[in-house]
């Protein structure tokens, strides 16, 4: 199926159009099977979509009780003395989802899951990585790196992280039948979730990611954390390869910071430098991929419609 690019006037229209697309995909899925499995993102991009989608569910336009969800990512190293405090930290993605979506639903999902980053003690993780350097390796060609833990590490703690956190989350997604509808945003360098620029696409399932210094500094500068000391240094994240195993992917982007990564992801060739660019291969292999953009984020695509048409990308201007 060709990639469908839908250009809207602004964030509000983008959110309404995206909610309609997601709702239609949910309804289409529920006609075929008992449950719909959603993949959900955090950040500013999907907040409007979630409000409209919750209204649609509450109005009976689809049955939320037949949906379950898996979130893309979660921090490791949030402030807190125990997993419960870390899980309910205001900057945790679990807390975000309750505030922005789950708490708005009158009828709740069958199940909601966020990667169990809160279970990991960051200080112990860092100590184990330092002590057992032969148990793991870094993957990536840029500042952000995934930490690949070997199959049979000597460290019992790293073995637990691999099995109980990473592999268990991937197993639960598989047991649910895979993601039917995946919502994603776009990072400033074309990354998705914490699959940052340069991390290899192949083999990127559920990953332990070491955050680059720029990501940490931005989290402090944006007011999410009081200092670098309080800011997490690691995260659990679905990788781009796992994201693009969903049956349908709905990508959202708005504003000037998203112009270049959006353009690079479609105008250039698939590359680890722009993880979302692998959506081109996903689409060629039969995946349903929607780019829903405001007109600012779509600026370079609008200027290069001829290139998109030659690639067989469908373009609809709804402004």
Question: The CATH number of the domain where 215 resides is what?
Answer: 3.40.50.1360
168 phi/psi in degrees, rounded to 5: -65, -40
Confidence at residue 297, expressed as pLDDT on a 0 to 100 scale: 98
The count of structural domains within the chain is 1
Quote the pLDDT of residue 35.
98
The CA-atom distances, in angstroms, between 276 and each of 1, 153, 226 are 17, 31, 31
pLDDT at 142: 79
Range of the domain at 20: 4-317
What is the C-alpha to C-alpha distance for residues 256 and 241, in angstroms, rounded to an integer? Answer: 27
Q: Which of 92, 97, 156, 102 lies closest to 124 in space, CA to CA? A: 156
Which residues does 201 contact at the CB level (< 8 Å), separation at least 6? Answer: 239, 240, 241, 270, 272, 275, 278
Buried b (16+ CB within 10 A) or exposed e, 94-126: bbbbeebbbeebeeebeebbbbbbbbbbbeebe
- In Å, how far are 41, 121, 122, 124 from 155, measured between CA atoms? 32, 15, 15, 11
Query: Which pLDDT score is estimated for 212?
Result: 84
pLDDT mean by block of 10 residues, the chain; 319 residues: 95 98 98 98 96 98 98 95 93 96 98 97 97 97 90 97 98 98 94 94 97 83 85 96 98 96 97 96 97 98 94 93
The predicted model scores a pTM of: 0.96
Distances (CA, A) of 139 to 26, 77, 189, 270, 303: 35, 21, 17, 18, 35
């Amino acid at each position: 199926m060709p990639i469908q690019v839908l250009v809207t006037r602004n964030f509000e229209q983008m959110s309404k159009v995206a909610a309609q697309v997601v709702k239609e995909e949910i309804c289409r899925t529920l006609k075929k099977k008992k449950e719909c499995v959603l993949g959900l993102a955090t950040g500013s991009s999907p907040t409007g979509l979630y409000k409209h989608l919750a209204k649609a569910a509450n109005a009976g336009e689809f049955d939320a009780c037949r949906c379950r969800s898996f979130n893309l990512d979660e921090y490791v190293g949030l402030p807190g003395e125990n997993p419960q405090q870390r899980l309910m930290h205001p900057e945790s993605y679990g807390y975000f989802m309750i505030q922005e979506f789950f708490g708005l639903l009158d009828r709740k999902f069958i199940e909601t899951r966020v990667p169990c980053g809160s279970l990991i003690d960051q200080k112990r993780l860092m100590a184990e990585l330092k002590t057992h350097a032969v148990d793991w390796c870094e993957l990536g060609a840029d500042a952000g790196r995934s930490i690949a833990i070997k199959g049979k590490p000597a460290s019992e703690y790293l073995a637990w992280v691999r099995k109980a956190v990473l592999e268990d989350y991937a197993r639960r997604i598989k047991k649910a039948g895979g993601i039917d509808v995946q919502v994603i945003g776009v990072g400033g360098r074309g990354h998705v979730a914490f699959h940052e620029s340069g991390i290899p696409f192949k083999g990127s399932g559920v990953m332990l990611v070491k955050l680059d210094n720029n990501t940490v500094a931005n989290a402090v500068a944006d007011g999410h954390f009081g200092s670098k000391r309080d800011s997490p240094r690691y995260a659990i994240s679905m990788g781009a390869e796992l994201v693009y195993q969903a049956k349908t992917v709905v990508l959202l982007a708005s504003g000037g910071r998203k112009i270049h990564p959006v353009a690079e992801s479609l105008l250039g060739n698939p590359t680890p430098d722009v993880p979302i660019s692998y959506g081109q291969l996903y689409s060629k292999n039969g995946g349903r991929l929607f780019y829903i953009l405001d007109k600012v984020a779509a600026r370079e695509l609008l200027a290069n419609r001829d290139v998109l048409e030659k690639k067989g990308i469908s373009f609809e201007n709804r402004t």
